[in-house]
Amino acid sequence: MDVHEYTCQFVPADIDAALGRRYIVGSEIAVGGQGTVFRATRTSRPDGTAANDVVALKLYFDRRQLPVQPEITAMENVSHLNLARLIEHGYCDVAGRHTRYVVWEFIEGQPLSVQLRSGRLLESEVLAIGRDVAAAIAEIWSRRVVHADIKPSNIMLRNSDDGDIMFGSVDSAVLIDLGVAKNLDQSNIGTLDRRDRRSAPRPMGTWGYFSPEQIRGTKALSCASDVFSLGVVMLQCLLGKHPTDDDQTAITDGIRASGGRVAASVGLLCALDTMLSPLPAFRPNPAELSHRFQSLRQTMQAEFAKGARAPQKAQD
């Protein structure tokens, strides 16, 4: 499907009317393979009671792309510091097109994908991102939900007001957009070669961040798949570029963080190597991983305070 085929139909005035004038739809903030996201203000709830929520309103090009109902139900009552809160979802008719929509809490901050345009991140910042996203993965997995599309544009960064050159400005991270979660109809998917990207069937998600089991078409995914994708993202943060230049085949064949191209602590490199294991069973539990990253960050912070360690970024 051509992404731009339907974008012209998502006009703020049409969306306002489709949702019963309960939203004030503002600027378009993202367009992807699934749909378009707008910043909006919700002025009332479906039951008519007043509201005043700033939200991210996503409309899907294909109404079948939203996660199936058990996953939506599992996320409805989740409240977690590192997850965007699900506010509302349903169907509406936008300019005559029956459309599925989902509304998430709007996270103030900057996508990691934008932050990466400035180059590599400090190790302390990468540890903060790993700590928070791993905690988010653990939380949704406790409800047996797999995000399945962890990538820089789906991670929002909150910057610290007192960030400095020694420890970096990234204070916390929030995982957003569970639009692909558990929606993996992969019965006909085998191992894909990059030259077949446009013609071969492919799993829902983003090329360059799939776990090996996603590409193999494994239906019974677990949190280990999200842990692998997070490992790719963290390595990208340390390098300032995607570790395989978006070559999914190279990722599936196996990549390592250790080996000399990344200047980072042994503790972080070892954690990344286990996260990037081609075998899901060898990847760490996300909750334990979050605690591990927090411990590494606290140790680093103590060393910075003593002047025993300087901030590092990866070397070319």
pLDDT in tens, 49-106: 999 999 999 898 775 555 556 667 777 878 899 999 999 988 999 988 888 898 999 9
Q: Which residue has the tokens 């997070």?
A: 230
Q: How far is CA 43 from CA 22, 33, 52, in A?
A: 5, 28, 5
**DSSP H stretches of helix in the chain:** 12-18, 69-75, 112-115, 123-141, 212-216, 223-239, 248-253, 266-275, 286-306
User: Is 241's pLDDT higher than 50?
Assistant: yes
What does the pLDDT average to over 132-143? 95
> pLDDT of 280-315, one tens digit each?
999 999 999 999 999 999 998 888 777 756 555 544
Buried b (16+ CB within 10 A) or exposed e, 117-132: eeebbbbbbbbbbbbb
Is residue 182 left, alpha or beta, with left meaning phi > 0 and alpha meaning psi from -120 to 50? left
Q: Is 168 within 8 Å of 122 (Cβ atoms)?
A: yes
> pLDDT of 176-229, one tens digit each?
987 666 533 333 333 344 444 444 445 677 899 999 999 988 888 999 999 999
**160 pLDDT tier (thresholds 50, 70, 90):** low
Q: Is 25 within 8 Å of 12 (Cβ atoms)?
A: yes
Superfamily for 110-306? Transferase(Phosphotransferase) domain 1 (1.10.510.10)
> pLDDT of 255-272, one tens digit each?
999 877 788 999 999 999
Q: Which residues pair with 44 in a beta bridge?
A: 50
Is residue 240 left, alpha or beta, with left meaning phi > 0 and alpha meaning psi from -120 to 50? left
> Is the torsion defined by CA of 278, 140, 236, 310 positive or negative?
negative
∠ at Cα 309 (306, 311), nearest 5°?
125
Determine the residue type at 56. Answer: A
Q: Which of 24, 12, 27 is nearest to 51 (CA)?
A: 24
pLDDT score recorded for residue 69: 61
User: Is 4's pLDDT higher than 70?
Assistant: no
What does the pLDDT average to over 148-162? 85
Pull the structure tokens for residue 175. 């995982």
Is residue 92 left, alpha or beta, with left meaning phi > 0 and alpha meaning psi from -120 to 50? beta
Pull the structure tokens for residue 161. 């007001």
Q: Could you give the percent of the chain with pLDDT greater than 70?
A: 79
pLDDT score recorded for residue 302: 85
pLDDT score recorded for residue 77: 79
Q: Please report, to the nearest 10 degrees, the dihedral formed by the alpha carbons of residues 244, 37, 78, 54 taken in order.
A: 130
For the ranges 3-12, 30-39, 111-120, 251-260, the maximum mean pLDDT occurs at 111-120
Query: Domain ranges in the chain?
Result: 3-105, 110-306
Tell me the pLDDT of the chain averaged across its residues. 83
Q: Is 131 within 8 Å of 290 (Cβ atoms)?
A: yes
Q: Which residues, including other chains, have CB under 8 Å from residue 236's CB and lie 6 or more apart?
A: 116, 152, 242, 243
pLDDT score recorded for residue 178: 76
Task: Give pTM, 2 decimals.
Answer: 0.84
CATH code linked to domain 3-105: 3.30.200.20
Q: How far is CA 227 from CA 1, 44, 126, 278, 281, in A?
A: 29, 37, 14, 11, 11
pLDDT score recorded for residue 92: 92
> pLDDT of 16-51, one tens digit each?
999 999 999 999 988 877 788 999 999 999 999 999
Q: Which of 312, 209, 208 is nearest to 262 (CA)?
A: 312
DSSP state of 20: T
